[in-house]
Amino acid sequence: MEFYEVVNSRRTIRDFEHAVIEDATIERILKAGLQAPSNDHMRDWHFIVIKDKHAIHKLIDIIPRGISDAAMAALIKDWNLSDPIQQACYKDAVPKQYRMFAEASCLVVPLFKQKTAVLGAENLSQLNGFASIWCCIENMLLAATDEQYACTLRIPLGQEEPWTRQLLNYPKDYLMPCLIAIGKPRPDAARVKQTEYSVQERIHLNQW
C-alpha cells in the first residue's frame, strides 16, 4: 500500500480470526518499529514475541474476561463519557479485553529502558524514553496494516505489569508501556465509528 493509504487504513481491531503469522512478517513489523526516532539515538528497545497459545493464556489470565452491563454503565458514568460515539467505542472495547489477546496470532511486549520513574518524573525530558517507545509502537501499527494484519493494545492496569515481568523475566530497568496483539481481522470484525475532525480546525498559525 502507499503510505497515506496505510495511514488511512489503520484501525484498532479487537476481533481476530484464527491465523498463523510468519516469523518473517513479525520481524518486518518490528524492524519498522526500530526505524522510529529515539531519544538517545541508541534505540534501547526490546520485544518479547509470544505465539504459543498456552503462554498467551497464562500471560493474560490477569485480564478480566468481561464486564456486566451494570459495571459498564458505571464505568461510563465514572469516566464522564458523555459523547455517544465515545461511549460506543468503550462499549465495544472493554468487554473484549481478554478475548482480543486470546484470539490474536501473536502478542508483542515492547520494552524500553527508563532511567527515572515514569510516574515520578520531574520534567518532560525525563519522559523522553517513554515518548520514544510510542513512536516505535506507531511504526509497528502502520507496518502491521501494510502486512494486512491489524493490532490492538492494552496499557497495563494494577498488577498487570508486575505479573508480566514475573512471567517473562525481563530486566528491572526495562518497562512495558503496553501489550500488543497482532492478528488477521475477522470478516465481521467491529469497526467502530470514529468522530471525524477537520485538520483545518486543529491548525493554529503563529499562535492559538
Handedness of CA 29, 30, 31, 36 (dihedral sign): positive
**How far apart are alpha carbons 169 and 165 in whole angstroms?**
5
Q: Which CATH class is domain 3-63+102-193?
A: alpha beta
pLDDT score at 139: 98
**How far apart are alpha carbons 63 and 73 in whole angstroms?**
19
Q: Can you give the length of the chain in residues? A: 208
Distances (CA, A) of 200 to 10, 110, 205: 22, 34, 10
**Minimum mean pLDDT among 29-33, 107-111, 126-130: which range?**
126-130
The domain locations on the chain are: 3-63+102-193
Reply yes or no on whether the pLDDT at 116 is more than 90.
Answer: no
41 φ/ψ sector (left φ>0, alpha ψ -120 to 50, else beta): left
Residue 192 pLDDT level (bands cut at 50, 70, 90): confident
- The cell for 178 is 503496553
Place of cell 518473517: 24
pLDDT digits (tens, 9 = 90+) for 123-176: 998 999 999 999 999 999 999 999 999 999 999 999 999 999 999 999 999 999
**How far apart are alpha carbons 154 and 193 in whole angstroms?**
20
DSSP bridge pairs for 113: 174
Q: What is the pTM of this model?
A: 0.95
pLDDT score at 115: 79
**How far apart are alpha carbons 104 and 114 in whole angstroms?**
28
